[in-house]
Amino acid sequence: QKQEGSSFLCCEVLQGSVRPMSSATENPPSACPYHKPADAAAAEQVDPRNMMPKFSQDASKDQKQELSKNREVSTIPKTGETDNWVYPSSQMFYHALKKKSKTVDEEDVDDVVRVHNWTNEESWRKVMEWEKMHEKTCPNPTLDRFVGLSEDLSTKGWLSAKFGRLGAPFDRHDWYVDRCGKRVRYVIDYYDDPTAGNVMDVTIDARPASDNFGGIWDRLRKPFAG
């Protein structure tokens, strides 16, 4: 089923998960978002809610095979809209990879998209585990926007890189959740982890940002919240 609307596209192409596909995907895109170009006209086409341009559903001139144009609707509610965030099609994702000068076999793009979508769903599930502590005052939080910060280690990510079993995270995102009118920032680190116990061998560490009292208080009381 084809869907319209803003794409939930922020390059969670998981390094550990894509590695078995082929040599072409052993170095998948992890630096997200797509940075605004210097050209002002091109910059206007970048969606500020996911920091990505709108990609076409038309095939690229150098494509050798047809890619799916179907777009999956996520389970993640979008702030200010009645519909949920919509994931990109394989065709749109292929354009995104080309825009970032990344190489991927066309036959692998469907698998890359599945990894991307799974990771976003798991990230939202992790966020909602925290949001359960606020369900009496806000039963239906929504996702307002998100940004990729793969080159900017969080404090916890830095500590893991220096002393942790998992080493440095291969990606980081900040998600901005609308808690019924209150914006809350979550920091999400992604680690390769063969012991994670999921099909992707990825550990997702999502938690409220600790730059405000509310986030710190949630971190302190979460172990006792049930």
> What is the SS3 assignment for 115?
helix
- 185-217 residue pLDDT tens: 999 999 999 999 998 999 999 999 999 999 999
Say which residue, 14 or 123, is predicted with more confidence: 123
Helix (H) or strand (E) holding 127: helix 109-131
Query: Nearest-CA neighbor of 59 among 102, 9, 106?
Result: 106
Cα(205)–Cα(191) distance, integer angstroms = 8
Q: Which residue has the higher pLDDT, 14 or 169?
A: 169
- pLDDT at residue 41, as a whole number: 47
Residue 52 confidence (pLDDT): 56
Asked if residue 33 lies in contact with residue 101, where contact means CB atoms within 8 angstroms, the answer is no
Backbone angles phi, psi at 116, to 5 degrees: -55, -50
Q: What is the pTM of this model?
A: 0.78
Q: What is the pLDDT of residues 66-98, one digit of tens each?
A: 899 999 999 999 999 999 999 989 998 888 887
Residue pLDDT, tens place only, 26-66: 333 333 433 344 444 444 465 555 555 567 777 777 888 88
CA–CA separation, 100 and 152 (whole Å): 19
Q: Which two tokens stand for residue 66?
A: 């047809």
CA distance 172 to 184: 17
Which pLDDT score, from 0 to 100, does residue 15 have? 32
113 C-beta neighbours (distance < 10 Å), count? 25
What confidence tens digit (pLDDT) does each residue in 113-172 have? 998 899 999 999 999 999 999 999 999 999 999 988 888 999 999 999 999 999 999 999
Report yes or no: 13 and 30 within 8 Å, Cβ to Cβ: yes
Task: Give yes or no for a cis peptide into 33 (omega within 30° of 0).
Answer: yes
* pLDDT at residue 53, rounded to an integer: 58
Q: What is the mean pLDDT of residues 99-117?
A: 84
**Predicted local confidence at residue 173, as pLDDT:** 93
